[in-house]
Each structure stands twice: as C-alpha cells, then as structure tokens.
Structure 1
C-alpha cells in the first residue's frame, strides 16, 4: 500500500473518532499524566467503543496514539506531548524558538513546505506541558482540546463538565501557525514527526471500516447497561445499531460469537438491509447459567467482516425486595454510622460484609510509591470473592499501572445509573485508609457519612447527584456490591 492510501486511511480513522461527538470527552487524568510512572497507561480503544452508554476519554496525545494504533496497529513510542516533541526517528522538522518576528516568518514557511497529510505536529510549552495534532492536509488539522481545562470533571465545584459536542472543538483551519498557537511566546520547541513512514499495513478492522462499512455509524448497546448486574440465567441483550450517513443502501450479515460458558438464544447471525440515511437495529439475546462467572466478556459481534467493539456485562445476584426492605428500614434508624454497623445490618439480611473501611481498601488496593507521593492501584479483581464492582473505583490517588487493561482500569465518570440499591461506597482521604468513611446507596437516598469524622446524614434529591459527582475528587473510592457474595 502506498503512502497516499495510508494517509487517506489514517485521516478516515481520525474522523471516525470525530463522528462520535459527545460520546468522546477530553480528560488528561485518563493518562495519570502527573505521576510519570510509564508513558502509556490506557488501552487504546476503537471509535465504536464510544457510545451513548459508554463515554470514552482522551487527551491530545492519547488521541493521536489511538488513531495510529487503530489504523495500523502501530504504537507511538510516546503519548505525552513533552516526550512526543523528542520523537526523533521519524522526525522531519524541529525548531527551538527565540520568538523574533523574522524567525516566525521563516519557521512558518519551513513548516508549510514540510507538512504532509498524517504528520504529527507537537509543540512544547515547558514544565511538562504541550499540545499535539494530526495534520489532515489542505491547511487543516484534527486534534483533541478543550481550550484550557484539563479534564472532564470540575474538582473545585465537584461536578462533571462535558461538552455537548465532545472533545473535538473544531477542525482547525489556518489557526496553528499564529501567536495563539505555535508562535505563542510560551512555546519553546516545535517538532513534526512522520510516523506513516514506519507503520505497516492497515488492521483488518480498519480495512473493513473504510471498505464495506464506509459511511456507517456502528455501535453495540447492552441491556443491562453500565455497571448494572445481569442475573445468571436471565436474557442479556446485545443490540447492534447501524446508521447509514452517505445515502447508500447496503446488505450485510450481522453475527455474534460468545464464549463457551454463554448461550445465544435463537440464531447467532442474520442478514440485514441497511437503508439510506436511516438506522437499522438488530438484537441478539444471550444467557449465562454458570454462577461462577461474574463477567460476560470476549463477546464478538460482526457486521460483515467488520468486528464491532462489544462492552462487557456484569453478572451476579441482586438484592431481593425483602432484603432491600430490611436494609432500608434498619439503615434509616441508625444513630451512629460505620462499616461495622452496616455489616451487622447486612448480616440480618443474610449477606456478609467486611467490618472495616481500612480493611476493605487494603484488600482491594496495592500501595505504590511515586515521585508525587503514595498512590493506589487496584488488585486483581474477583467480584465473587471481594464483592466489589469491576472498574467502579478511582479518585485522585488511584492510578492505572502499565499493561493493565479494561476491566481493571479505573472509571473516569460516575453517575447515579451506575449504582444498585445496597451498594456501599467506601472512600478514603489517604493511601493507607486511615481517614476513611462510607455510605450506602438506597435508590431514592444515600445514607451514611459524606466526610471523614462527619455525622450520619441522609441525602436525597440533588444531594445524591452532588455526592456521587464528588467521588472523582476524593483520594480514593470503591463501590462494594455485597449481593455478589450472597
């Protein structure tokens, strides 16, 4: 495949992310960038992983890395901008600024003469800060930015902040080489790399996306969604949703493949007709009987030869109405609140719960040393044994170590929909769990403590959302679902 074809495939892949709109948001914290533990800490997911049920988060450099990885299976050596500016091997241009007017005129001409579609432009602001973009050609660039803010969560006001349009503010035109861009006095260095000189052939999924699936917006939705439990033996729905955007009609085969412990109800494939400018939906139903299986993963779904990203589904018991009533009635009557008290109440409902917040955190997390202090990382997860919800953990002191892949990656977003009645939220202000406290989600209210040393509270209405929003701003939090261990 020649370089021109590779350029077209790369830009098409970048635009596939762009088309996901608000389902992709900007967040530097997805990279744990302040900890400097490893250059790559995030699984590089395809565009189709971003759905209305599953928001994805990138910063500028992780987006560039994801595009190259998705298009060619090629991993950029760096995904932090101040490292990418030193990306020497495929570099075709480099300059250190003195910021004179004459220099800017010369550099602008040099850069415009050098740039080719697919090039990675990086500039360094110093003090571990910079920005990186992909050049599309015709003086256009595609990048991830939110004009100054670092993440999708407002830690000062304890609330989410996500753009309706997603993380792609615009496709830049003629804005890069200005005093607000590369020629800002804050910029120390600029570099242009050409990774397309090093990549191999496109991945099979990419060839299918730009081939038979050209013009199609494809996603898989599940029921139950997010962190809800599916009961063993119940039907789990995997919905393949295909929207045609270029005014063409197509026919294709939709197919699902499941692991040995799962069963497909009915046929596992069917022919579908995709009409111009319309949405076609196909639903497959799956069951899992084995009660030792806590996570339905490795489900594969295809549209023709195109393998679509499929989210995982939690499996496990949920509280009975009787158990919910016992918990709600007794938790609302307590005068003092700690995990020992909660444990006694759960025991009355026939469920065993750890009696100490500190012990919970020690069981679920490793303690790490880092240049910025002590941080935590999640231990290998087994919800049947530890009673905690996959991936529903995080905080400012929680990292995702190198080579850890979903579902062990921490969450970047917490919403009310993620919780089930009876979930216990354990929070700590420090790495050792010395300043820890907890609360219980009861559906229409949350009861417990909202700060270390605080009094017992009952949260209702907007206060529930405010508290859930505040979890990402804590040092550490984890969600226990004791019904897993019933």
Structure 2
C-alpha cells in the first residue's frame, strides 16, 4: 500500500476519535505510576468505545498510541511523552533549546521543521518540569491532539472530583500556533520554543507500521463518516437477573455530506437465547442519526452477559458488558437500612454492624471492612509507596460488583488489554439498594471505612475515623465523585452470592 494512503487511513482513525466529541475526556494522572494507578487512561481502545454512558479517557500520548494501534495493530515503543521523545523510531528531527536563540534562529528552526513534516508524523516536546506534549501531524499545516482545553482534566485528584469538558478532549490545531517564534508574552499558546520547553523532536513511525487492519479499512471505506455506538438499557453497575431482557441500541450518525445506506448486523453469543442474529438496512441522511434496537435475554449463571457482536457496514462496534445477578429483595434492603440507621453518630465498622443482619437474611458477608478488602486485593511492596492489585474477579464468591473498584493506589496491569476489567466512572445510578461502598486510605487496610446505599441516601462513615452520618442528593453525589481520588474502593453487593437457606 502506498504511504499516502496509509497516512489517510491513520488520519481517518484519528478523526474518528475527534468525532466522538464529549464522549472522549482527558485524564493524565491515571498513568500507572506509584499511587497514581487509576485505570481511566485507556490503551487499546477503539474510537467506538467512547459512548454517552461510558466516556473514553485519553491524554496526548495515549491518543497517538491508540491511533497507531487501531489503524495498523502497531504498538509505538512508548506511550508516555518523556519516553516517546527518545524511544520512538525513526526520529527524523531533534532539537534542544538553549533559550538564547535569536528571532532569526527561531524562525529558521521552525521553517526547517515545517518543511520536513509529513502526514502521520508525531511531534513531541519535553518541558523543564519533565512533562510534555505530543501531537499527530495531519498535513496542510494542521495537527490532531488530545489536550486539556480550557483547563479541563477528566479527574482533579487534588480536589477529588470529575471535571468534564463539554467539547471533548481531541481537537485540531494549526502549525502556526506551535511554530510562531516565542515572544515571552502569550502563555495561552503552547509554542515549541517557549521558555519552559527543554527539547522537541519529530518521529515518523508510519515508515515502520505495516498494512492497516480490517477494522481500520472498514472505518475508512464503507463506514467512513459514520459515528456509531452501542448502548444498553441497563446502567453500568446494575445487575440483570437471569432470564430478564436487555435492550441494546445501535446509534449511527452520518457526519458526511451525502446520504449513506447502512447495514447493521448483530450476533448474540451462546449464552443469549433471544434474537441470536439480526440484519437491518437503514438509510441515514447527511447530518442525521438513526437508531435500531434489539433484545437479548441471558440464560447462564455468569457475572456478566457476553457483549453482542455488532457490525455497521462491516465495522465492528464496541458494545458494553452488562452485569448479571440477582438484586437484594426489597424486604432485606429495608432491614439493612433500619440496622444502618443505628450507626449515626458512632464510629463502628459497617460490616461488623450489618454482618449478623445479613446472616439472618441469608446473605452472609465478611465481618469487617478490612477483612473484606483483604479478600479483594493483594499487596505490592515498593520503595516509594505500597500499592494493591485486584484479585481475580469472582462476584459470586467475593460479592464485589464486577469491575466496580479502583482508587489511586490500585494497580491493574492487565487493564491495558481489557477495558472492561475496571470501571472508569461511577455515579449513584450504578448502585442498588443494599450496596456497600468499602474504602481504605492505606495498602494494609488499617484505615478503612464504609457506607451503605439505601436507594435514596448513603449511611455510614465517609472518612477514616469519622462518626457515621447520612448524605443524600448532591452531597451523596459529591462523595461518590471522590472515590477515584481515594486510595482504594470497592462496591460490595450481598445478593451476588445468592441466598443461603438456614
């Protein structure tokens, strides 16, 4: 394949991320650093994985890494900016700033770089504080990159809250913004020559990438200009009892200038008994969106329903994984709420208080928050700080809602190749009455606390050492928002183990 066509297919993939808009958000501090190990920064994720229900989180380097991987199956040598500047091959230009360059010398450097740039090139710079930025050259004097626009960052760890950009994080920029000589005045422009830039380079990995994948070809040809997503009528975190239906919606938006005939195929996997296969043809007008739905029914004792395979004009569309399991009977949830009400004003372990009640109802749970967390996570000793990893997920045994766990001290190496192993977002809509949110502020689980969700409010200790209280409405939402900024959290659902008689 000609290099020009390869570049066009690569840029089509990059623009597919751009087209997701607010469904892709920025998150940088979630790299796998010690004690900054949240799973939100995604690798291996196709554009279609970003949906209204579950945003995709990318920073500048993971955006470029995903573009190359999703187009060619090619893994760049690094996906962190300060590694990329030295490790990406081939490097066709490299420059270290002295900050003594004259205006003429600055212009000469800029013109040299602009003269050698080719579509598909990666431009990377490192700042004096060891951070940096990286961008994909799109040709005709434009770049595509993922950046914190207007100061938005997917999660503010210092404030322990989400701040989403309504415009999304992937955007286009012009060469002039990057290569105008630095005059020391306008800090809103990320000039490559400004005073806090240490060095920058240009890389050409397109020369090493092989042929495009079938997915990339489908996205470039028959599915070009189509923005597709698959969502389910079950909120993430909610469990569906076996035998209950789940309605999936396939949404197709036409961003092109002409009408497009769209073929939608869906195939359910073996544990689904209703509507195993389907085929629809719809015409999507330019600028419009069409939706089709199909229903599946789980018929297996599994912690989740296997996601259906959905093809839109030959492009496989990422589909969500729906959790399976029973809900706590309402009378049992009421009994737990009554028991938890006696916690108010006291500093008592939530599980120690509720364990006898759960036992009497036929839903045994661990007798302490610390012990429960020990059954879910194991310790990693490091010189800098201790972190923990999630044990293999077995909801029917450990009672933890599948993938509803995380925190700044939870390391999940396998998450890079399995985006469904761990949640990237949580709200009260993910919870069911009787759920218990367990938290810890340390890797040895000595500083633990927990709250119970009643369906309307949270009851329990919201910080280590605090007495129990209640929070509802915006106060409850705000506390749930802090979970990703805490060292460790997990959601326990007593009903997942089934009811034990006697």
Mapping 1:203-242, distance limit 5 Å: 203-242=213-252
SS at match of 2:379: strand
SS in 2 for 1:9: helix
Match of 1:465 in 2: 477
**Structure 2 partner of 1:188:** 198
Match of 1:144 in 2: 146
Shift of the 300–365 alpha-carbon distance from structure 1 to 2, 3 Å rule, reads same
Higher mean C-alpha displacement, 404-413 vs 377-386: 404-413
The residue aligned with 1:344 is: 356
Displacement, 1:147?
5.2
Q: Which residue of 2 aligns with 1:331?
A: 340
Unaligned runs of 5+ in 1: none
Give the C-alpha shift of residue 305 in structure 1. 1.4
Could you tell me how far apart the structure 1 residues matched to 2:276 and 2:8 are?
40
User: Where do residues 11-410 of structure 1 align in structure 2 (5 Å cutoff)?
Assistant: 11-33=11-33, 42-99=42-99, 100-101=101-102, 102-146=104-148, 151-168=153-170, 170-178=172-180, 179=182, 180-265=190-275, 267-291=277-301, 293-334=302-343, 336=346, 337-338=348-349, 339-401=351-413, 405-406=417-418, 409-410=421-422
Q: Does the aligned pair in 1 maintain the 2:358–2:364 contact within 8 Å?
A: yes
What do the CA deviations read for 1:163-217 (whole angstroms, capped 9, x no partner)? 1001135534411124342101221111100011011111111111111111211
Q: Taking structure 2 as the reference length, what is the TM-score of the superposition?
A: 0.91
- Is 1:477 the counterpart of 2:486? The answer is no
Q: How does 1:435-474 map to 2 (within 5 A)?
A: 435-474=447-486
In structure 2, distance between residues paired with 1:388 and 1:20: 32
In 2, the alpha carbon distance for the partners of 1:456 and 1:358 equals: 17
Check whether the contact 1:445–1:459 (CA below 8 A) recurs between aligned residues.
Answer: yes
Q: Structure 1 residues 240 and 26 mapped into 2: Cα distance closer, same or farther (>3 Å)?
A: same
SS at match of 2:12: helix
List 4+ stretches of structure 1 deviating above 6 A: none
Q: Secondary structure at the match of 2:296?
A: strand
Q: Quote how far apart the aligned CAs of 1:55 are.
A: 0.6
- CA distance in 1 between counterparts of 2:203 and 2:162 reads 35
The answer to whether the 8 A contact 2:404-2:422 is kept is yes
Shift of 1:456: 1.2
Equivalent in the alignment of 2:186? none
The answer to whether the 8 A contact 1:319-1:422 is kept is yes
CA shift at 1:325, angstroms?
Answer: 1.9
Q: How many residues align structurally?
A: 483
